[in-house]
């Protein structure tokens, strides 16, 4: 039976610690590295509902993409938001492992999984230094066809976009917050940027600089990694029960 540390070490084989950005917080954030694990719960975020789901399913470990916390905690009490989560995990003997920007940058990680879901072929990095984001090719498809493809592949609540009236051939992909990559994408001769969390002025920039821009939503752009993690962990640890939390969903809603 694998221990928490065995699973964490394997995840660092998939997404080396060295790939994490300097400000990030990755690895085992809560729990006992020596604890035996029978059931793993997967989710993009460690929400209260995900913790409840882990308790209900007797999971000893939650693996998430987003860290439970990034800034150091000055105190862990029931009077603070993150303190309550940590206490709830500890009281239920649940450990928490988070793989964030290291998984963004890893080969086969978040950005590669997003490219795969969209049928794009990876040919390089969007940011050579950080290795976060990919440059990909698509087969000369129209904006309209890409919108249909992205809706089907990612199931987003909605897609905000700029149509530069160019077909998609060379596409920059940056899962999560990547609106600041517009000029970088253009410098790499990309006709399109697919990302999330795009700001108002970045849409204007894309329109005026003549690049297709698609904001598919933060959750939708990154949630593609959860199924891939389930497959990878299942192959490595065949004795584990590896479940995707029923509470792994996008919280915000849209009124249109």
Catalogue all structural domains in the chain, each as residue range(s) with its CATH number: 4-103 (3.40.1390.30), 107-221 (3.40.1390.30)
CA distance 89 to 243: 17
Nearest to 51 by CA among 91, 104, 106: 91
Task: Say yes or no to pLDDT of 47 above 90.
Answer: yes
The pTM of this model reads 0.96
* pLDDT (mean) for 79-106: 98
Secondary element (H or E) of residue 88: helix 81-91
- Banded model confidence at residue 102, pLDDT cuts 50, 70, 90: very high
Task: Say yes or no to pLDDT of 256 above 90.
Answer: no
pLDDT at 249: 95
- Banded model confidence at residue 83, pLDDT cuts 50, 70, 90: very high
pLDDT at 20: 98
Task: Say yes or no to pLDDT of 67 above 90.
Answer: yes
CA distance 149 to 151: 5
Task: Say yes or no to pLDDT of 237 above 90.
Answer: yes
| pLDDT single digits (tens) 103-160 | 999 999 999 999 999 999 999 999 999 999 999 999 999 999 999 999 999 999 999 9
CA distance 256 to 206: 23
Secondary element (H or E) of residue 95: strand 95-98
Across-strand partners of 39?
241
CA distance 177 to 110: 13
| pLDDT single digits (tens) 167-186 | 999 999 999 999 999 999 99
pLDDT at 255: 86
Place of tokens 């849209």: 254
Per the rule left: phi > 0, alpha: psi between -120 and 50, beta: everything else, 130 is: alpha
pLDDT at 215: 99
């Amino acid at each position: 039976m694998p221990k928490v540390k065995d699973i964490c070490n394997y995840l660092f084989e998939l997404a080396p610690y060295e790939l994490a950005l300097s400000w990030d917080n990755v690895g085992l954030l809560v729990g006992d590295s020596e604890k035996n694990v029978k059931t793993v719960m997967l989710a993009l975020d460690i929400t209260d509902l995900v913790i409840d789901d882990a308790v209900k399913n007797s999971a000893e470990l939650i693996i998430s993409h987003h860290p439970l916390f990034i800034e150091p905690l000055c105190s862990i009490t029931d009077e603070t938001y993150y303190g309550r989560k940590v206490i709830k995990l500890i009281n239920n003997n649940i450990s928490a492992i988070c793989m964030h920007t290291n998984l963004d940058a890893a080969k086969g990680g978040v950005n590669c999984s997003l490219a795969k879901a969209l049928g794009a072929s990876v040919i390089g990095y969007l940011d050579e230094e950080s290795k976060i984001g990919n440059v990909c090719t698509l087969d000369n498809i129209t904006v309209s066809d890409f919108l249909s493809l992205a809706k089907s592949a990612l199931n987003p609540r909605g897609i905000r976009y700029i149509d530069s009236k160019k077909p998609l051939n060379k596409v920059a992909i940056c899962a999560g917050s990547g609106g600041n990559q517009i000029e970088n994408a253009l410098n790499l001769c990309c006709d399109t940027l697919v990302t999330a969390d795009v700001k108002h002025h970045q849409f204007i920039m894309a329109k005026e600089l003549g690049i297709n821009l698609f904001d598919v939503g933060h959750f939708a752009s990154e949630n593609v990694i959860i199924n891939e993690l389930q497959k990878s962990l299942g192959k490595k640890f065949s004795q584990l029960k590896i479940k995707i939390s029923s509470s792994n969903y996008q919280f915000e809603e849209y009124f249109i």
